[in-house]
Structure 1
Amino acid sequence: MVKPFVPQLVYFEPKAMGYPLGKTLYDKFSKMDVEIRETTSHNQVRNLPGDNDFQKYRVAKSTLVVGLRKTLKFDTSKPSAEYAIPFATGCMGHCHYCYLQTTMGSKPYIRTYVNTEEIFDAAEAYMAERAPEITRFEASCTSDIVGIDHLTHTLKDAIEYFGRSEHGLLRFVTKFAHIDHLLDADHQGRTRFRFSINADYVIKYFEPGTSRLKERLEAAAKIAEADYPLGFIIAPIYLHEGWREGYLTMLEHVAQVLPPKAKENLTFELIQHRFTKPAKKVIQKNYPMSKLELDESKRKTKWGRYGIWKYVYTDQEQEEMKELFLTTIPKLFPKAEVEYFT
């Protein structure tokens, strides 16, 4: 079982100490005997320990930077939500395929932002702009926020904030099972709590440093019992030897362990594996022994929103995936909604 994340090294921006959460985290890490350093900015963390890039990358993944979110213009987050709400950046997991490999670039350390009231105020403005329409906010575009929330409780505050809101809904996804502190949050049914799940092969070979499927599903059952709307993201759907059997077994396992009430309001999101040339380069550098298949000649190209070609599965392979999931999910979960396949 993966233990809850504890950073080896913590950096604080000086201005973070002017916020209650900044002071709380400083006191917490001081008592935990974690090494604390100061940095002028969460974007300017230098001199990480390590003799080479390989070592420094791994140290960065266990480093937390406590700072302020200066950019309060939210990115769009289609198809899962209207906007991405930025509470944290980075992740302690080591998923080989993750798109953060390239978007984080040379800064793979984890950042948490303490000016949460300013972030909530920005969200309020976005909601007012679209009212009376509902505005959905995705809290896990650039991080697995559940992975650090046992330390920060930022996500718990956000869940309760959106529980009080009239026109906002919160969504996030996690690969971690450390969710007990969120069970008593006053969510008012306005947060959809999603778990990323996958076939055993994918979790075993490509998702080190994350909770196992059994642990994620046990956590999902607890979340359902706490009356949260529940969802699963199956991502990335990755073709490997025996992939059909692997994904069927996974879905049957989900159906067996979920309590009946969880199946009443359940969503699935389906995302095929994709990669870009820059991502391939970074993945092969950071995980040189990875079994991840990154052969461009086996894929078709698709123009990405960030102005770069990405490599996805062929049309025929995508149809085979859709056939498997879009026939199996309705059989096992008759009331579930498949929100999209991409």
Structure 2
Amino acid sequence: MRRLWAEPAALASPRGQQVRGRFPGAEVVEVESHWGIPGLHGNAGNVERWVRVKTEDLVLGVKKSLAARPNGRSADFIAPSTANGCAMACAYCYVPRRKGYANPVTVFTNIDDITGYLARHIRRQGPKPEPNQCDPSAWVYDLGENSDCSVDALVSDNVADLVALFREEPGAKASFATKYVNRGLLDLDPRGRTRIRFSVMPPADAKQLDLRTTPVPQRIAAVDDFVAAGYEVHLNLSPVVLRGGWLHDWAELLTHIDDVLSPAAKAQAAAEVILLTHNEDLHEVNLGWHPRAERVLWRPDLQERKRSENGAVNVRYDRANKGRAVQAVRDLVARHAPWLPIRYAF
């Protein structure tokens, strides 16, 4: 890490000092806001450094707005972020759409404010009145909406603090998706109150689209270890990318998962199926650093445009193609991994 961009209050905090101590050789540059860093955000020239930025730059900020947003798909609530951005470089990631040509990790250092807010929010909910697709008995809070918690845990103790919080909350669970195997998480003693969702896709897709991530076979191989360490471990079949041979490759992947997971892992597993959503602006960015990815991500013959709540133009598979694909994945799971319930698919 070469540069540490930091809001003064974030740098002065105990968590900020911890992060600075992990990168003692980094140049510290104070900034007014973690969102508006001259030369980093909004700099189209950074497209040529898309991956290097992730290895050279780290940002410290203070999370200003604390809210747990209702969700209802993967989780009951989206928890306030403790980080933003990622050291990995998945070609379809939606976070860079908001950050402008750069997506390094931003660590929010006011972790006590965030965990305190979450503890109060959990207790206000009371017991969960009935089962839903998120969980039969616990309120589920999604962590790391805009980051990957397994990577975040390499940078600071924010994730360890969140796991510790939910460990003491019998009515709630933390949940996060990841594409990185961080075995340091095995020592956090979650006691069943944190759900890790390992994202998996056919290795051929991951090699082209999931840059700087843990290879898919290694993600699958880690499942049993995380179950043994006290995590609930689910699988995200995500993203499903429609291209030639995709059904065959997903069948092979599901067969491999069925072959290698233990009975204990299978007994507690569940899955989400998420088809690819892409974005017009990100498509243009990708053409500047990874055009090969766009050959499969950008498919106007299969996709339709949809304007998001923030005004961005997203593209997703049109209704007919999406409906057929979702059913095809359901059929593959039923055939090759019948022990794997699908919590939701979209």
Same fold (TM over 0.5): yes
Question: Which segment drifts farther, 54-63 or 210-219?
Answer: 54-63
C-alpha distance in structure 2 between counterparts of 1:21 and 1:327, whole Å: 47
Deviation at 1:264, TM superposition (A): 0.7
How many residues matched?
333
**Which residue in 2 is equivalent to 1:165?**
169
Deviation at 1:115, TM superposition (A): 1.1
C-alpha distance in structure 1 between counterparts of 2:146 and 2:90, whole Å: 14
Deviation at 1:302, TM superposition (A): 4.9
- Name the amino acid aligned to 2:13: Y
Structure-2 change in CA distance of 1:240 and 1:339 (3 Å): same
Show CA shifts across 1:267-295 (max 9, x none).
10001112233333333344334333413
**Which residue in 2 is equivalent to 1:91?**
86
**Which residue in 1 is equivalent to 2:215?**
212
Structure-2 change in CA distance of 1:314 and 1:28 (3 Å): closer
**Which residue in 1 is equivalent to 2:296?**
292
Show CA shifts across 1:151-194 (max 9, x none).
3121122112101013321000111112x211121212111111
Show CA shifts across 1:28-67 (max 9, x none).
211xx33333323212322459993323433432221122
- Kindly indicate whether residue 20 of structure 2 is the aligned counterpart of residue 26 of structure 1: yes
C-alpha distance in structure 2 between counterparts of 1:164 and 1:202, whole Å: 39
- Kindly indicate whether residue 228 of structure 2 is the aligned counterpart of residue 225 of structure 1: yes
Spell out the pairing of 1:270-309 with structure 2 (5 A cutoff). 270-290=273-293, 291-302=295-306, 304-306=308-310
Q: CA RMSD in A?
A: 2.5
Secondary structure of the equivalent of 2:51? Answer: helix
C-alpha distance in structure 2 between counterparts of 1:77 and 1:286, whole Å: 33
Q: Which runs of 5+ in 2 are unaligned?
A: 129-137
C-alpha distance in structure 2 between counterparts of 1:9 and 1:339, whole Å: 42
Structure-2 change in CA distance of 1:199 and 1:341 (3 Å): same
**Which residue in 2 is equivalent to 1:61?**
54
Spell out the pairing of 1:137-176 with structure 2 (5 A cutoff). 137-176=141-180
Show CA shifts across 1:190-242 (max 9, x none).
11111111012210111111111122112222112213111111111001111
Runs of 4+ in 1 over 6 A off after TM superposition: none
Q: Which runs of 5+ in 1 are unaligned?
A: 1-6
TM-score by length of 1: 0.88
C-alpha distance in structure 2 between counterparts of 1:292 and 1:336, whole Å: 28
Question: Which segment drifts farther, 9-18 or 258-267?
Answer: 9-18
Structure-2 change in CA distance of 1:300 and 1:24 (3 Å): closer
Structure-2 change in CA distance of 1:307 and 1:339 (3 Å): farther
Secondary structure of the equivalent of 2:192? Answer: coil
- Name the amino acid aligned to 1:193: I
Contact 2:255 2:337 survives alignment (8 Å): no
Contact 1:77 1:141 survives alignment (8 Å): no
Contact 2:254 2:337 survives alignment (8 Å): no
Deviation at 1:15, TM superposition (A): 1.2
Aligned mate of 1:103, from 98, 111, 119: 98
Identity of aligned residues (%): 22
C-alpha distance in structure 2 between counterparts of 1:64 and 1:188, whole Å: 32
- Name the amino acid aligned to 1:325: V
C-alpha distance in structure 1 between counterparts of 2:314 and 2:241, whole Å: 15
C-alpha distance in structure 1 between counterparts of 2:53 and 2:300, whole Å: 30
- Name the amino acid aligned to 1:34: A
Show CA shifts across 1:127-161 (max 9, x none).
23322224321112111121131231211221121
C-alpha distance in structure 1 between counterparts of 2:326 and 2:32, whole Å: 48
C-alpha distance in structure 2 between counterparts of 1:125 and 1:105, whole Å: 34
- Name the amino acid aligned to 1:39: V
Deviation at 1:337, TM superposition (A): 2.1
Aligned mate of 2:6, from 12, 20, 28: 12
Structure-2 change in CA distance of 1:219 and 1:115 (3 Å): same
C-alpha distance in structure 2 between counterparts of 1:53 and 1:303, whole Å: 26
Secondary structure of the equivalent of 1:328? Answer: helix
